[in-house]
Amino acid sequence: QFVRRPLIAGNWKMNMDHMQAIALVQKLAWTLDDASHDYERVQVSVFPPFTDLRGVQTLVVGDKLSLDYGAQDLSPQDSGAYTGDIPGGFLAKLGCTQVLIGHSERREIHGETDELLNTKIDAALRHELAPVLCVGEGLEIREAGNHVNHTLAQVEAALSGFSAEQLAELVIAYEPVWAIGTGKTAGPEDAQEMSAAIREKLAELYSQEFADSIRILYGGSVKSANVAAILSGADVDGALVGGASLDAEEFAKIAQFE
Ligand code: PEP
């Protein structure tokens, strides 16, 4: 049914200390094992806080777990006088394979602009981390009917200057800001409408072949109860899950959406 390998990704945000992280990853892996989860069919990844990554690495590598993991942000720089920032090279050394870029909370709280995110994508690519670029509109933009234009402009600005070859591992997560952590979910038609529009934009910027190879996720109050409907859209290739990813059993159920 799926042309692209679905990805179910858990964004833990600023939750779970390094002890709790180990317990959550263990429970998640066990639950998925019990359900005979086929990771080749559906990729599962988690995005814990930076301070958890070493513990997650020890567990995933030590126990040969098939989970992927990544960070929630990275610095555009590689090293130097950037107090508080974490570069992509450190993340790659910790076994991260992906990194979230431009989550709406970073855009809002830290004032991250499309131009900055473009430099963060460059940093991710330098360290062979797959960028998971988050885009999406706020409520006012949605109500004004400008959500598609707004979101496509975010995609185009963030990807400016990169070739299709460079972006082979890119993932795009469409997350309408009004649906994040609010319990409001965009309807499956909304998720499909935007995913199709993003794919069309990628075809226009690069090629149809490239556009058809890129995974586009939906994020915003995804739960086990609504995931199947959301993923029924032909252009929706997975989910970025916030709140529900903190409960191992619920997140495992989401990963087992079929
Ligand atoms: C998110 O943080 O990316 C997210 C989609 O959160 P939630 O699932 O809690 O709405």
Residue 1 pLDDT: 62
Annotated catalytic, 103?
A: yes
Q: How far is CA 230 from CA 141, 223, 238, 242, in A?
A: 22, 10, 9, 15
Contact present, 51 and 71 (Cβ < 8 Å): no
pLDDT tens for 214-245 read 999 999 999 999 999 999 999 999 999 999 99
* Binding region: 11-13, 181, 221, 242-243
Closest ligand 1 atom to residue 219 Cα is 5
Contact present, 102 and 133 (Cβ < 8 Å): yes
Closest ligand 1 atom to residue 241 Cα is 8
Contact present, 237 and 2 (Cβ < 8 Å): yes
Q: What is the ipTM for the molecules in this complex?
A: 0.96
In the three-class reduction of DSSP (H, G, I as helix; E, B as strand; rest coil), residue 133 is classed as strand
Tell me the best of 236, 240, 250 to mutate to test the pocket of ligand 1, counting ligand atoms within 8 Å of each CB and taking the most.
240
How far apart CA 257 and CA 229 sit, in angstroms, is: 9
Annotated catalytic, 258?
A: no
Domains in the chain and their CATH numbers?
7-224 (3.20.20.70)
Please list the ranges in the chain whose pLDDT falls under 50: none
Q: Which of 105, 112, 137, 175 is catalytic?
A: 175
Contact present, 168 and 213 (Cβ < 8 Å): yes
Residue 180 pLDDT: 86
Find all residues with CB under 8 Å of 174, minimum gap 6, and list them: 135, 136, 151, 191, 194, 195, 198, 216, 217, 218, 219
Ligand 1, CB within 6 Å, residue ranges:
11, 13, 175, 180-181, 219-222, 240-244
Contact present, 123 and 78 (Cβ < 8 Å): yes
Instruction: Look at ligand 1, atom 1, and give the residue with the nearest C-alpha.
Output: 242
Residue 181 pLDDT: 82
Tell me the best of 12, 180, 251 to mutate to test the pocket of ligand 1, counting ligand atoms within 8 Å of each CB and taking the most.
180
Backbone angles phi, psi at 195, to 5 degrees: -60, -40
Residue 258 pLDDT: 81
